[in-house]
């Protein structure tokens, strides 16, 4: 019985260094679709300036798709025709996508060619916020080294920290810590993540928060501290963690 051998793409030494970085090779279907979009008939009646404007609007979306495909080669070609910080229709840049997906090598490459880590989407997300939200510790550390800072509303951060405590999401709490977040940040009621951890009687979460710099003596709007709540509920094991008398 005859079996047809699968077609093998010709060897191209250009791809070798990128292959060693575990990147995908050029996504041919993606490039084919991109070419079709850029040659659609509705461009024929446009002026050269209109065509150029349309290209500028489309290119950031293509760049973001390259990041999703981990396609360095196509991205490099596209970046020849756009700024590295150009955003798509929602303001997402290629760096936003790299940080959201946890692609450390792509993030490092984009930062090395000048991408800013403080760009904001129309939803208010920075690359750092997306890395925190998706708990990509390696990307967070790289962004912090490049000067990224947490820029979200402090009260919003306090609420997000408390939600993470309620969900017992230890990795998300750690992500906020690695980003340099004030772990004593409170919500609208002045309550902190440590208040929530004591309320949930979560000794492990209390221990983690203390390790990350949280303190038990921050009062809420009613004047109650996390230590007060622990005393009121006779949580002796937590009071021991606070180094307070039982």
Domains and CATH numbers, the chain: 13-145 (1.25.40.20), 154-241 (1.25.40.20)
The pLDDT confidence band at residue 60, using thresholds 50, 70 and 90, is confident
The pLDDT confidence band at residue 80, using thresholds 50, 70 and 90, is confident
Between residues 149 and 6, which one has the greater pLDDT? 149
Q: Distance between CA atoms of 115 and 99, rounded to whole angstroms?
A: 12
- Average pLDDT for 3-24: 43
Q: Among 4-8, 99-103, 109-113, whose mean pLDDT is lowest?
A: 4-8
Q: Distance between CA atoms of 238 and 233, rounded to whole angstroms?
A: 10
Concatenate the DSSP letters of all residues of 166-196 into one string: HTT-HHHHHHHHHTT--TT---TTS--HHHH
pLDDT for residue 229? 95
pLDDT for residue 66? 87
Q: Is the pLDDT of residue 210 over 90?
A: yes
Residues of the chain with pLDDT > 70: what percent?
76
Q: Is the pLDDT of residue 94 over 50?
A: yes
pLDDT for residue 185? 96
The pLDDT confidence band at residue 36, using thresholds 50, 70 and 90, is low
Q: Is the pLDDT of residue 184 over 50?
A: yes
Tokens representing 237?
């094991």
- Stated pTM of the model: 0.77
CB–CB of 208/174 below 8 Å? yes
pLDDT tens column, 105-123: 999 999 999 999 999 998 9
Tokens representing 103?
């692609």
pLDDT tens column, 135-146: 999 999 999 999
Q: Distance between CA atoms of 242 and 214, rounded to whole angstroms?
A: 10
10 Å CB burial of residue 28 (0-12, 13-18, 19+) is: exposed
Q: Is the pLDDT of residue 10 over 50?
A: no
Tokens representing 112?
């090395």
Between residues 127 and 10, which one has the greater pLDDT? 127
Specify the DSSP element, H or E, that contains 233.
Answer: none
pLDDT for residue 43? 61
pLDDT for residue 8? 43
Between residues 17 and 143, which one has the greater pLDDT? 143
CA distances from 122 to 62, 68, 77, 87, 174 (A): 19, 20, 26, 10, 26
Side-chain-side CA neighbours of residue 57 (13 Å): 10
Q: Is the pLDDT of residue 187 over 50?
A: yes
């Amino acid at each position: 019985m005859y079996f047809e051998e699968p077609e093998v793409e010709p060897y191209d030494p250009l791809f070798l260094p990128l292959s060693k970085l575990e990147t995908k090779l050029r996504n041919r279907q993606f490039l084919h679709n991109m070419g079709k979009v850029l040659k659609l008939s509705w461009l024929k009646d446009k002026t050269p300036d209109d065509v150029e404007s349309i290209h500028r609007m489309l290119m950031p979306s293509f760049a973001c798709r390259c990041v999703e495909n981990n396609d360095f080669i196509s991205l490099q070609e596209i970046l020849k025709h756009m700024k590295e910080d150009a955003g798509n229709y929602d303001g997402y840049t290629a760096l936003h996508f790299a940080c959201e997906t946890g692609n450390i090598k792509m993030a490092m490459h984009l930062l090395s060619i000048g991408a800013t880590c403080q760009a904001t989407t129309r939803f208010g997300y920075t690359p750092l916020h997306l890395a925190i939200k998706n708990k990509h510790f390696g990307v967070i550390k790289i962004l912090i080294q490049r000067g990224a800072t947490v820029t979200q509303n402090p009260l919003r951060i306090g609420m997000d920290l408390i939600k993470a405590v309620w969900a017992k999401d230890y990795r998300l709490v750690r992500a906020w810590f690695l980003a340099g977040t004030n772990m004593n940040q409170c919500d609208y009621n002045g309550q902190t993540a440590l208040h929530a951890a004591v309320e949930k009687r979560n000794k492990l979460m209390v221990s983690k928060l203390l390790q990350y710099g949280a303190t038990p003596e921050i009062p809420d709007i009613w004047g109650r501290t996390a230590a007060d709540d622990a005393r009121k509920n006779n949580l002796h094991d937590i009071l021991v963690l606070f180094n307070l008398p039982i």
